[in-house]
C-alpha cells in the first residue's frame, strides 16, 4: 500500500512545520502573536512530544492513527488551535520532504 515507504521497521522523516496565525493586532505590541511566544507554544505542545520519536510507537496521538503527513497536520492543528488563543490558526503547512507538503486550514 505504501510503496517504498512500506517497511516492517518503519521509516522516518525530518518534518518542517510552518504555522500561520491571524487575529487582531495588539495596539501596544503590533503583533497578532509574538513570534517568540509562538515558537514556545509549538515547542511545548508539539516538538517535545514528537521530535526524535517513532510516531507509530512512542506518540499517543498516533497509536491508532496512521501518521501520514495529512494526519500529522490535523493533529498539529487540533493541538495548537486552543494554545494560540486569542490568535487563530490560519494554516498549518507540514513539509515531509523539500517537495512534498500538506496544507491544512482546520475544520
Catalytic residues: 5, 52, 96
For residue 51, give Cα distances in angstroms to 5, 17, 58, 83: 20, 12, 10, 19
| Distance separating alpha carbons of residues 69 and 75, to the nearest angstrom | 10
- According to DSSP, the residues that pair with 104 across neighbouring strands are 92
- Judge contact between 50 and 60, C-beta under 8 A: no
Cell of 56: 507509530
Amino acid at each position: 500500500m505504501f510503496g517504498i515507504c512500506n517497511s516492517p521497521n518503519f521509516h522516518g522523516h525530518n518534518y518542517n512545520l510552518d504555522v500561520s496565525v491571524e487575529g487582531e493586532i495588539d495596539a501596544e505590541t503590533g503583533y497578532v502573536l509574538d513570534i517568540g511566544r509562538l515558537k514556545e507554544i509549538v515547542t511545548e505542545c508539539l516538538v517535545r512530544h514528537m521530535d526524535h520519536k517513532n510516531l507509530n510507537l512512542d506518540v499517543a496521538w498516533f497509536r491508532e492513527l496512521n501518521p501520514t503527513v495529512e494526519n500529522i497536520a490535523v493533529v498539529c492543528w487540533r493541538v495548537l488551535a486552543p494554545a494560540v488563543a486569542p490568535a487563530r490558526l490560519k494554516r498549518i503547512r507540514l513539509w515531509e520532504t523539500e517537495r512534498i507538503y500538506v496544507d491544512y486550514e482546520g475544520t
